[in-house]
Amino acid sequence: MKLKMKWALLTMVFTIATVLTGCEPLLVLDPKGPQAKTQADDIMLSIFLMSGIVIVVLAILVFVLIKYRASNQSKDYEPPHIEGSPIVEAICVGIPILIVIFLSFVSVKSNYEVEATPAGYGDQEPLVIYASSSNWKWHFSYPEENIETVNYLYIPEDRAIEFKLYSYGPITSFWIPQLGGQKYAMSDMVTTLHLAADTQGEFVGRNANFSGAGFAENTFEVTAMSQEDYDDWVKEVHETAPPLSEDKFEELLEPGHLGRSTYTGTHLEFSPAPNHDHGSTETDAEESEHENHESTNTDDESSHAHH
């Protein structure tokens, strides 16, 4: 019986080791951008901290079991009556509190970092891309280049990217694991996500929020390239891609899966993003308020002239 149990345990260990050997590395632990690097460092810090705690606790458990086992005491041994130990209680309560405080500080600091422009990119103008989802596709609008793509994304390396996220259907979540964390895209507001790729390569993006039957295939491809290659791609699109009409865009919004496609022009011209921009910078808010103020003054002047 003991021999069978031994072989069963060895077989289980061998199977687990074999399966883990064939697994691909976790994408979140293979960062290709500063935002993803911050999050990967936080994950590894948490893993090491929790592993250290588990090892210490198990070591103490083994020590107590061996030292205070029944066979290690005399037959007439009687344990002393103890009311409690302030030192032990302080350790049991104090150490978890210190761990929570430390992890809270690290989490808050990291949240501010990943919500801002990536470190090292603050002195350059970000590339603004409107990323909108529909069942079950991703539409990427490049206002600066007057280009729109479906289900794929080209970005230059070593340049800050400012994504404006919203949805033409249910709530989705925009996520490129190797570049940064996920953020929701909703139908009645725009959320802002700052990312950057500090190396060239191909990455996988997806919708990380369940949004119906086609959710599993709601993915897109991301390619980070040199600025020269990116400029060549923009030039090629303007020479070869068809224009995006309102009728064509309405057709693209129909539920279903599509491959990659490219157009000149963007849907922002006839189907603009929602007005409520959550996560915009203070400067953007001030400019928007200034524009609204000018518009109000113009309307007042026009009304006065008419009167």
* 237 shares its domain with 148: yes
pLDDT, tens only, 181-193: 999 999 999 999 9
* 156 shares its domain with 280: yes
Count of structural domains, the chain: 2
* 198 shares its domain with 232: yes
* 135 shares its domain with 109: no
* 105 shares its domain with 162: no
Structural domain for 33, as ranges: 27-71+85-115
Higher pLDDT, 145 or 277: 145
* 39 shares its domain with 181: no
Check: CB of residue 194 under 8 Å from CB of residue 118: yes
Q: Are strands 152-156 and 219-225 parallel, antiparallel or unpaired?
A: parallel
Distances 64 to 50, 68, 70, 78 between C-alpha atoms, Å? 21, 6, 11, 17
Asked, for residue 80, whether it belongs to a domain, the answer is no
In the numeric block, which tokens belong to residue 196?
A: 């950057």
pLDDT, tens only, 213-245: 889 989 999 999 999 999 999 999 999 999 999
* Confidence category of residue 83, pLDDT binned at 50, 70, 90: confident
In the predicted structure, residue 207 carries a pLDDT above the cut 70? yes
pLDDT, tens only, 47-61: 999 999 999 999 999
Q: Starting from the edge strand earliest in sequence, which strands make up the sheet with 137-142, in order?
A: 261-264, 147-150, 137-142, 127-134, 161-167, 190-195, 277-278
* 98 shares its domain with 162: no
Check: CB of residue 99 under 8 Å from CB of residue 127: no
* 166 shares its domain with 231: yes
Q: How many CB atoms lie within 10 A of CB 111?
A: 14
Check: CB of residue 238 under 8 Å from CB of residue 169: no
pLDDT, tens only, 129-179: 999 999 999 999 999 999 999 999 999 999 999 999 999 999 999 999 999
Asked, for residue 21, whether it belongs to a domain, the answer is no
Asked, for residue 5, whether it belongs to a domain, the answer is no
- The CATH code of the domain that includes 267 is 2.60.40.420
Asked, for residue 303, whether it belongs to a domain, the answer is no
* 135 shares its domain with 276: yes
Asked, for residue 250, whether it belongs to a domain, the answer is yes
* 65 shares its domain with 211: no
Higher pLDDT, 65 or 11: 65
* Confidence category of residue 210, pLDDT binned at 50, 70, 90: very high
pLDDT, tens only, 96-142: 999 999 999 999 999 999 999 998 998 999 999 999 999 999 999 99
Percent of the chain with pLDDT over 70: 83
pLDDT at 88: 86
Asked, for residue 261, whether it belongs to a domain, the answer is yes
Asked, for residue 305, whether it belongs to a domain, the answer is no
Asked, for residue 211, whether it belongs to a domain, the answer is yes
